[in-house]
Amino acid sequence: MFGRLITLVSSLKEKYFYTKEIDFNTTHPELRDGEMWLTNIYTAPKSMRFDSIGWESKRKGTTAYNIYGEVLSYMLPVFVNRKEWKEGMARQRKMAKN
Beta-sheet strands, E only, within the chain = 35-42, 59-60, 64-65, 71-72, 75-81
State if pTM tops 0.75.
Answer: no
3-57 confidence digits (pLDDT tens): 454 444 455 445 555 557 788 778 899 999 999 999 999 998 777 788 899 999 9
Residue 73 scores a pLDDT above 90 = yes
The predicted structure's pLDDT at residue 62? 96
- Per-residue pLDDT, 68: 85
Instruction: Please check the confidence at residue 64 and state whether its pLDDT lies above 90.
Output: yes
